[in-house]
Amino acid sequence: MTAASAPPMIRVAGVDKFFGPLHVLKNVQLEVPKGQVVVVLGPSGSGKSTLCRTINRLEPIDSGVIEVDGQPLPAEGKELARLRADVGMVFQSFNLFAHKTIVENVMLAPTKVRKTPAAEARKTAMELLERVGIANQAEKYPAQLSGGQQQRAAIARALAMKPKVMLFDEPTSALDPEMVQEVLDVMTGLAKDGMTMLVVTHEMGFARKAADRVIFMSDGEVVEDSTPEEFFSAPKSNRAKDFLGKILTH
């Protein structure tokens, strides 16, 4: 199979989703090829977080197709759990397991889902915590860490499953400003290492620096799909111009 005919890591085609009468995703099309970093931008309520959450079926869709690595999302059950194990996710609110230490957080899924022996899982966990720069916090509980440290632990937890693709749902939106950079640095490192990533964010700097492509969403639609240079210097749509005008002037 040549690179061109390989299936994209994520394929979203004709996806619609409603929350009651609210049409939150409107005929969304999106492809993320292997190794690309795609950043999703857009105003609040534009459906970008919902889109991110549909990709591992935390939100079910009403119509359309979502495929991960060429495989359509199965219905809730064992098969979906297997697929989710290959898709890492990082949440806005970290969602670290409050009753487990940081290293236990990272070890849990490998030991339970992959049946990795505990000693090996711990070794891998410590390496990952080293990589995100919080190995010295391994034995603490999540509540004892700063937000930035918690989010880096959450990234390590997702990486412990050796995912094929990582989803980031506004990973820095709940952080104090001085902690945003340490999380973005970890993400930039991942991007450089060739991880396939879909990142919902408001961090324009990250989009410019680390993204291969920028998706702009508004009112549940994908309005633009272009390179960061194109998007930031010459946005095509009025909605994107309006959005950039609001965030870049101050």
Partner 1 sequence: MSVLTNNLPLFLDLFWKTLQLFAVSAVLSLVLGTILAALRVSPVPVFRGIGTGYVTVLRNTPLTLVFVFFVFAYPLLDILKIENYTAAVVALSLYTAAFVCEVVRSGINTVPVGQAEASRALGLTFVQMLGNVVLPQALRSVVPPMTSTMIALLKNTTVASGFAVAQAGNIRDSLSEQGENVLFGLLWVALGFVILVMPLTYVQQVFEKRWSVAR
Stretch that binds partner 1, among 82-90, 120-128, 145-153, 213-221 (CB under 8 A): 82-90
91 binds partner 1 (CB under 8 A): yes
If binding is defined by CB under 8 A, does position 115 make contact with partner 1? no
Q: With respect to partner 1, which residue has the nearer C-beta, 9 or 109?
A: 109
Nearest to 240 by CA among 22, 46, 14, 24: 46
How many chain residues interact with partner 1 (CB under 8 A)?
30
**Length in residues, the chain:** 250
161 binds partner 1 (CB under 8 A): yes
Query: What's the CA gap between 41 and 66, in Å, rounded?
Result: 20
Check: CB of residue 195 under 8 Å from CB of residue 20: no
Shorter beta-carbon distance to partner 1: residue 186 or 240: 186
The number of C-alpha atoms within 13 Å of 247 and in the hemisphere containing its C-beta is 15
Whether the CB-CB separation of 70 and 5 falls below 8 Å is answered with no
The interface region with partner 1, picked from 9-17, 77-85, 145-153, 237-245 by CB under 8 A, is: 77-85
The nearer residue to partner 1, 91 or 216, going by C-beta atoms, is: 91
Q: Which is nearer to partner 1, 157 or 213 (CB)?
A: 157
In the shown chain, the binding pattern of residues 119 to 158 toward partner 1, with x for contact by CB under 8 A and - for none, equals: ----------------------x-x----------x--xx
Residue 113 or residue 247: which is nearer to partner 1 going by CB? Answer: 113
CA 11 to chain centre: 15
65: contact with partner 1 by CB under 8 A: no
DSSP 17-75: EEETTEEEEEEEEEEE-TT-EEEEE--TTSSHHHHHHHTTTSS--SEEEEEETTEEPPP
- CA torsion sign for 22, 67, 195, 7 is negative
Least distance between partner 1 and beta carbon 70 (Å): 18
If the CB atoms of residues 141 and 232 are measured against partner 1, the closer one turns out to be: 141
Non-local (6+) Cβ contacts of 242 within 8 A are none
Asked if 174 interacts with partner 1 (CB under 8 A), we say: no
Residue of 62, 63, 65, 97 interacting with partner 1 (CB under 8 A): 97
Task: Rule CB under 8 A: choose which of 16, 86, 185, 221 binds partner 1.
Answer: 86
d(CA 66, CA 11): 6
Strand arrangement, sheet containing 87-90:
87-90, 165-169, 196-200, 37-41, 213-218, 221-226
85 is a site residue for partner 1 (CB under 8 A): yes
Q: Is 10 in the site for partner 1 (CB under 8 A)?
A: no
**In the complex, which residues of this chain contact partner 1 (CB under 8 A)?**
56, 58, 76, 78, 81-89, 91, 93, 95-99, 108-109, 112-113, 141, 143, 154, 157-158, 161
